Amino acid sequence: MPGSSLWLLPPPTHPLSTLLSTLILKTSRHFNSPHHFVPHITLTADIPPSTHSSPQSFLDALPLPAANCVNVRLAQLHSEDVFFKKLYIAVEKDGMEELARVARTAVDGGGEKDGAAKMWVEKQYRPHLSLLYHECAKIDAEGMEEIWKLVREAGLSLDGEGELGGWVGGRVVLVPTSEPIDQWAVLAERTL
């Protein structure tokens, strides 16, 4: 991914913060993936490198919605033949639109004057929380059943209900995702 990305992370004290980190680690080990990463929902990618001159100022200047306006609800488990979507939990778009729209305005050509950011959220944005990055093929039915067992053991709710089915608010972070995965580090952070 060129440039950087804006991610939404669960609040640090929310039980899903630890639970999802553990699940990502177990999933990576299960499929022999060397890639470990913090649990996050990508809000947008392709943030220009120019933001790195003052990353915290850049993030602080974004008109992010209040925490109570951001409602993350986890949905279904999926696998695709895409490295960053090898295994992921879909996230309901409802409750994420305004945050994603504001994040997208930071991308060159994603501004508000022509409604590009709003249209991008409506037509292209598919929020998800990855559990595995890997070069392997799409995970088959047997592999998905094994992951479902891990999800059930963890107590994760994939119907968006209860404390383990999502969260309200969270932290928005800027991460240089054009770097190799093992070099991803938070450049700036803002709590909603």
Residue 101, SS3 per DSSP: helix
Burial of 39 (0-12, 13-18, 19+ CB in 10 A): buried
| Total residues belonging to the chain | 192
Q: Which two tokens mark 58?
A: 């850049």
188: Cβ contacts below 8 Å, ≥ 6 apart:
55, 56, 58, 59, 60, 173, 174
Which residues are part of the catalytic machinery? 40, 128
Enumerate the H helices of 31-140 as residue ranges: 55-61, 97-104, 116-123
